[in-house]
Amino acid sequence: MTRLALVTGGMGGIGTAICRQLADAGYQVATTYSRTGRQEQWLADATAAGYAFHAFECNVADYASCSAMAAALREKLGEVDILVNNAGITRDATFRKLSQPDWDAVMGTNLDSLFNVSKQFVDSMSERGWGRVINISSINGQKGQFGQTNYSAAKAGMHGFTMALAQEVARKGVTVNTISPGYIATEMVMAVPVEIRERIVGQIPVGRLGKPEEVASLIVWLASEMAGFVTGANIAINGGQHTG
């Protein structure tokens, strides 16, 4: 039986790497998108690279949208076995300048989404006796970051969600874990000015940015049978930048 994985926000740099490595590991893979039209080129590129992904429109910050996505996904593909809550945004500003809409947007996409999406699938995983929920947090949810009170709060909250849900479903064969990547060489990070990027790298003990594929490989392991004894954990993948 081929297990089905759903990756929210799978069309970004890390998300694409996650989708591809899960497919390489033998899983059927679906993802979500929020802007109609964007998915067409992404799916075309994936097809050209030999991947057969499925994409479903969804606003992860809206419960009704998540419910509709889940219904469409079930009708087409069946039950989700592995859920990767990867969707996220930033709206950076110092707290003095941070607006309520930017606070709400980040909380909705980065934290409320865990409830909105997980609620659609965790009960079914529990009933079937097997499941994996993997939440993508951030180093800044562990240590905080100047200008990111909204983002850091949301990402820290993700692991609180993980620890609590993990205890509720552990005996039902479902694991729930968080990973907290540091600075990864995505297109967004590589687009920042070289001097800023060099300053970031200078703070990383291994002396380089992480690779999206390194993050994805950790997720593939957490999704596997061999990770069945790992639950409620927050695994840092940041090159030694933060160890707390």
- Residue scoring higher pLDDT (55 or 193): 55
Is residue 233, in this structure, part of any structural domain at all? Answer: no
Residue tagged 């840092």 (tokens)? 236
Give a yes or no: residue 164 inside a domain: yes
Q: What is the pLDDT of residue 154?
A: 97
Residue 243 lies in a domain: no
Reported confidence tier of residue 52, pLDDT bands at 50, 70, 90: very high
Q: Which residues contact residue 205 at a Cβ distance below 8 angstroms, ignoring those fewer than 6 apart? A: 239, 240, 241
- When pLDDT is cut at 50, 70 and 90, the band that residue 73 belongs to is very high
Is 214 inside any structural domain? yes
- pLDDT tens string 235-244: 999 889 888 7
Q: Is residue 42 a part of any domain in this protein?
A: yes
User: Is 125:174 a contact under the CB 8 Å cutoff?
Assistant: yes
Residue 153 maps to a domain: yes
* Residue 238 lies inside a defined structural domain of this protein: no
pLDDT of residue 193: 81
- Give 137 or 241, the one with higher predicted confidence: 137
Domain interval for residue 182: 4-228
Query: What's the chain's average pLDDT?
Result: 94
Active-site annotation, residues: 151
Q: Which residues contact 159 (CB under 8 A, 6 or more apart)?
A: 135, 137, 141, 178, 180, 234
* Least confident residue range of 11-15, 33-37, 233-237: 33-37
**Going by C-beta distance under 8 Å and a sequence separation of 6 or more, which residues neighbour residue 59?**
34, 65, 66
- The total domain count for the chain is 1
* CATH code for position 224: 3.40.50.720
State the pLDDT at residue 197.
86
